[in-house]
Structure 1
Amino acid sequence: MFFDVPCVFCRRSNMRTLLVLFLLVKSNAWAHDMKIHEQRGVVGGTTTLPCHAPPEEQQDVDFEWTFLNKTNVITDYTNDEIHNEGYERVKFIGDLTKGDASITIEDLRLDDSGVYKCEWTYYSQGLREKHTLVNLTITATALPQNGSSHIVAAVVVTLVMVISVAVAVAFYFCKRKHWFCWRKIIENNTAEENIQMNVQ
């Protein structure tokens, strides 16, 4: 199956991703009109992979999505029909008749990370092919958003301030108590000396 690869191959998947990108850049045929989009997702979530054909290339067009890390065709739109047998987690969400071949992948897994290619073939100006690439990165947990990071930073600063004040107050009372004890000792010693002098 396309997505059911044991996690033991996750590290190798990253190396394959880099190798695929390197080969695509080095190849003149692939480098033509190449666009690489970065997309992220979280395990168990859903992500969208964009693919849009320009207006002049939307007539009589077929689309095909391929997972390059495993060279698997995961879904395609050919002769006005959608085929994705075996890849039920993958769905077209755009208006294919208007050149929007964006897809979603549901129930994301770590081994879904890799490079995806959306290729479209159009016949309005003779048989021509173009494509776009999406590099998908899946993480186990969501990365903090800017708003969340600001909140976390504010909480940390507040805690540091509270702890600093508490330490300062404790030090003040400890020092005051220490001075008070020494004062009592001095007063007691002075009183004892006075008593001894009176006795003599």
Structure 2
Amino acid sequence: MGVKEIEKKLLDESTINSLNTSSVQRYLIFKSFLDFFLALIGIIITSPVIILFSIFIKLESKGPIFYKQERVGTNGKLFYVIKLRSMFINAEENGAQWASKNDPRVTRIGAFIRKTRIDELPQLLNVLKGEMSLIGPRPERPMFTEKFNNEIPGFTKRLMVKPGLTGWAQVNGGYDITAKHKLELDLFYIEEISLKLDMYILLKTIRIVITGDGAR
């Protein structure tokens, strides 16, 4: 599904009323500044961790250190997320697929950085570029966005706000929730978006990172 088709679907569907209020619009502007500031600090603080695990990744298996994958962003705009590579190269030679528990394509170092979410740290660069927010619906790949929207009309409503490193669906359902449940949770977040909710999600994310809950 291309950008034009996604934008058309968004225009054809009803908007979320809460996003049109002046208070929410002001918060979204504030959130963009906060995202940039916190992402910049995050990159500085976590750079030693990224460098260390970049070395481990290179020592364990052949292939690039970083992995780029196309995702669908705000209003259907496509961009590439940046991650530390956690799988062997040619992991999708048989086609695109979701990761599963005990996925044989995942390296030993990859299993650890996925469980601790260290593989997601380079996405702070996506936040700095304005492609993502620290908190919001997780961005899907174009083929999955099209598939889910065909199965669940309205799935693209998730694209009304910036995708996030973490989100309400991630802290409440993890990776294994259905697309329908994910949509319900993400729409709740969009309806209730606020600084208080974002801080709550951030705190729950920290707990999940420490405990490793929901990783695969």
Above 0.5 in TM-score? no
TM-score range, shorter chain: under 0.3
- The structure with the greater share of residues assigned to helix is 2
- The structure with the greater share of residues assigned to strand is 1
Q: Which has the larger radius of gyration?
A: 1
> TM-score, normalization: structure 1?
0.27
> TM-score, normalization: structure 2?
0.25
